[in-house]
A and B are shown apart, each in its own frame.
Chain A
Amino acid sequence: MNTDTHAAHAHDHHHDDGHAHSTFSGYMLGFVLSVVLTAIPFWLVMSGTLPSKQITALVIMAFAVVQIIVHMIYFLHMSPKSENGWSMMALIFTIVMVVIALSGSLWVMNHLNSNMMPIHEMTGMK
C-alpha cells in the first residue's frame, strides 16, 4: 500500500478515524499535563501539605478525574465527532453504568456495614 492511497483513504474517512488528527504537539501537551496532574497528587500525599486528610482525598480525586479527561482527549483522541458520535455515546453509556454500579455498591455496602448488628448485642437476644 503506498502513501497516496493511504492519504486518500484517511481523507475519505476523516471523521471515522479518530487518530487522523493526532499531532506531536497534542501528544506532548497531553504528556506534560499528565505529568503535572500525576506529580501533584503524589506530592500532596507524600508531604502531607494540606491540613486534613479529607481535603487531600477530595483534591487528589479531582486531579484523577481531570487527568482521565486529559488522557481521553489527547491520547485516546475522543471527540464528540469521532465515529459520528457513536464512540461518545458508548462512553457516556459506560460512564452512567460505572457511576451507578460504583456509587450503588459503595452506598449499599456502607449502609449494610453500619446497620449490621454488632455481635455483642446479638448475644443478649434470645
Chain B
Amino acid sequence: MTVAVNPSQTGEPVFYVADEHPHPEGYSTSLGFWIYLMSDCLIFAMLFAAFGVLGANYAAGPAPKDLFDLNLVAVNTSMLLLSSITYGFAMLTMQQNKIAQTQMWLAITGLFGIAFISIELTEFAHMIHEGATPQRSAFLSSFFTLVGTHGLHVSCGLIWLVTLMVQVWRFGLIEANRRRLMCLSMFWHFLDVVWIGVFTFVYLLGVLR
C-alpha cells in the first residue's frame, strides 16, 4: 500500500491511498480455497489426535484386528486412488477444452467415489450389525467420527461433482466453471491425502497393534 501526494496542488498536500490494480474475478479463489483446505486439515488433525488418544481403549469390546478386513480397505483405497487419477484426466481434458471428455472423466470419477462410499457404508453396516457401534467403546467412537467425517467429505464432494457436471452441461467450460472444477480438484485430491492418513494410522496400524 502506497501513499501518494498529488503534486499539482501546491497548498496542502492531498493524500490518498493508491488502490491495487484491479484483479479479474476469481483471482484469489484458489488461494482462498487452499486456506479452507488447510483449516479442514486442522479438523482432521484433531480427529486423528482423538483417535490416537482413544484408539486403544476397547472397553473389553472388539479390537481393530477383529473388525477390519484389510482386503476390503485395500479395494476401497484403490477406488479413491483411481478416482484421483480420473479427476486428473478430467482437468487435463478441461485444459484442452474438450467438454464431452471432461464430462466423461468427471462421471467416471463420480462412479469411483460412489464405489468408495458404498464400500465404506457396507463396512460400517457390517460392523454395526456385529455390535461394534459408535457407543460400544472409545475406540469405536473415535473411529466412526474420524472415518465418518472423511466419508461425509467425500459425499459432499460427490454432490459438488454432480452440480458441476450440470453446470458444465448447461454453460460449457466457461471461466467460472473452470475455476470451480479446479477447486473441486483440490478438494478431491486433498481427501485422498487425508485417506492416506486414515488407512495408515487407523487400519494398518490398528491391525498391527
* Residues of A near any B CB (own CB < 8 A): 1, 3, 6, 9, 13, 16-19, 22-24, 27-28, 30-31, 34-35, 38, 41-42, 45-46, 53, 56-57, 60-61, 63-64, 67-68, 71-72, 75-76, 83, 86-87, 90-91, 93-94, 97-98, 101-102, 105-106, 109
Contacts and interface: CB of A to CB of B under 8 A. Distances in A.
A87 B29 CA distance: 12
Majority DSSP secondary structure for residues of B touching A = helix
Contacts, number: 132
Interface residues of B, number: 51
A1 B92 contact: no
Contacts of B193: 68, 71-72, 76
Nearest to B54: A109
A106 B41 CA distance: 18
Given A1-B174, A56-B208, A94-B41, A19 B91 contact: yes
Contact of A38 (B48, B77, B197): B77
A45 B192 contact: no
Contacts of B173: 1
Majority DSSP secondary structure for residues of A touching B = helix
B197 to A, nearest CB: 7
